[in-house]
A and B are shown apart, each in its own frame.
Chain A
Amino acid sequence: MTSLSIGRHAGQIVWFLAIALALLLPELIPSKTALTKMCLIGITIVFALSYNILLGQTGLLSFGHAVYFGLSGFAAIHLINLIGRHQLPIPVLIVPLFAGLAGAAFGLLFGILSTRRHGTAFAMISLAIAELVAASSLILESFFGGESGVTTDRSVGPTLFGIDLVPQIQVYYLIVGWGVLSAITMYAFTRTPLGRMATAVRDNPERAEFIGYSPQIVRLLSFIVSAFFAGVAGGLAAINYEIMTATNLSTAASGSVLIMTYIGGASFFYGPVIGAIVISLIQLSLSDVTPAWLLYLGLLFVITVLFAPTGIAGLIERHLPPLRARVLHHLIPSYLLSAAAGSVFAVGAIALLEMNYHVTLNAHEGPLLRLFWIQVDTTQPLAWGVAILVTVCGFFLFRRTWPLVGGAWNEIDSRLRKAAP
Chain B
Amino acid sequence: MKEPALALTDLRKDFGKTSIIRGVSLSVVAGERHAIIGPNGAGKSTLFHLISGRFPPSGGTVALHGHDITGLKPSAINRRGLSRSFQVSNLFPRLSVSENIRCALLWSTGYRYCFWRWADRLSDVSAKVEDVLTRTGLSGRRDVLAGVLSYADQRALEIGIAIAGGADVVLLDEPTAGMSHSETRRTIDLIREVTIGKTLVMVEHDMGVVFDLADRISVLVYGEIIATGTASEIRASKAVQDAYLGTAGTAH
Contacts and interface: CB of A to CB of B under 8 A. Distances in A.
A195 B115 contact: yes
Contact of B103 (A192, A209, A211, A225): A211
Contacts of A188: 118
Contact of A203 (B86, B92, B164, B165): B92
B107 A192 contact: no
Q: Place the interface of chain B in its size category.
A: 35 or more
Contacts of B79: 212
B119 A191 contact: yes
Interface in B19-43: none
B113 interface: yes
A206 interface: yes
Interface string B89-100: 011111100010
Contacts of A217: 113
A31 B108 CA distance: 56
A382 to B, nearest CB: 54
A212 B119 contact: no
B161 A207 contact: yes
B78 A212 contact: yes
Contacts of B106: 193, 196-197, 211-213
A361 B65 CA distance: 76
Interface in B174-208: none
- Residue of B86, B95, B115 ringed by the most chain A CB atoms within 10 A: B115
A221 B113 contact: yes
B2 interface: no
A169 to B, nearest CB: 35
Nearest to A214: B75
A44 interface: no
Interface string B70-87: 000111001100011010
Contact of B73 (A194, A209, A211, A218): A209
Nearest to B145: A2
A391 interface: no
Interface string A212-243: 11100110010001000000000000000000
A210 interface: yes
Contacts of A208: 103
B133 interface: no
Contact of A194 (B74, B91, B102, B114): B114
A368 interface: no
B159 interface: no
Contact of B118 (A192, A200, A203): A192
Interface residues of A, number: 27
Given A191-B119, A191-B120, A203-B95, A209 B74 contact: yes
B112 interface: yes
Interface in A168-211: 188-189, 191-197, 199-200, 202-204, 206-211
A145 to B, nearest CB: 35
B151 interface: no
A203 B119 contact: no
Contacts of B94: 199, 202-203
A193 B113 contact: yes
B116 interface: yes
A267 to B, nearest CB: 8
B107 A212 contact: yes
Contact of A212 (B92, B114, B117, B165): B165
B52 interface: yes
Nearest to B146: A203
Contacts of A207: 86, 90-92, 161
Interface string A265-276: 000000000000
Contact of B117 (A192, A204, A214, A218): A192
A195 B161 CA distance: 19
A115 to B, nearest CB: 13
Contacts of A192: 114-119
Contacts of B93: 203-204
Contact of B102 (A196, A209, A214, A218): A196
A213 B73 CA distance: 10
Given A203-B94, A206-B90, A211 B107 contact: yes
Interface in B29-75: 52, 54, 73-75
A193 B114 contact: yes
Contacts of B73: 209, 214
Contact of B99 (A196, A204, A214, A218): A196
B117 A193 contact: yes
Contacts of B102: 196
Interface string B112-134: 11111111101000000000000
- Residue of A193, A197, A218 ringed by the most chain B CB atoms within 10 A: A193
Contacts of A194: 113-115
- Residue of A206, A212, A214 ringed by the most chain B CB atoms within 10 A: A212
A11 B116 CA distance: 23
Contacts of B95: 196, 199-200, 203
A225 B116 CA distance: 13
A196 B102 CA distance: 9
A210 B112 CA distance: 14
Interface in A48-91: none
A204 B90 contact: yes
B113 A210 contact: no
Contacts of B75: 209-210, 212-214
A212 B108 CA distance: 7
A210 B117 contact: no
13 contacts: A193-B112, A193-B114, A194-B114, A200-B92, A203-B92, A203-B93, A203-B94, A207-B92, A210-B74, A212-B79, A213-B106, A214-B73, A217-B113
Given A207-B92, A211-B104, A211-B107, 6 more contacts: A189-B115, A193-B117, A199-B94, A207-B161, A211-B161, A212-B75
Across the A-B interface, give the 6 residue pairs with the lowest CB-CB distance, nearest first. A212-B107, A203-B92, A209-B74, A194-B115, A193-B111, A192-B115
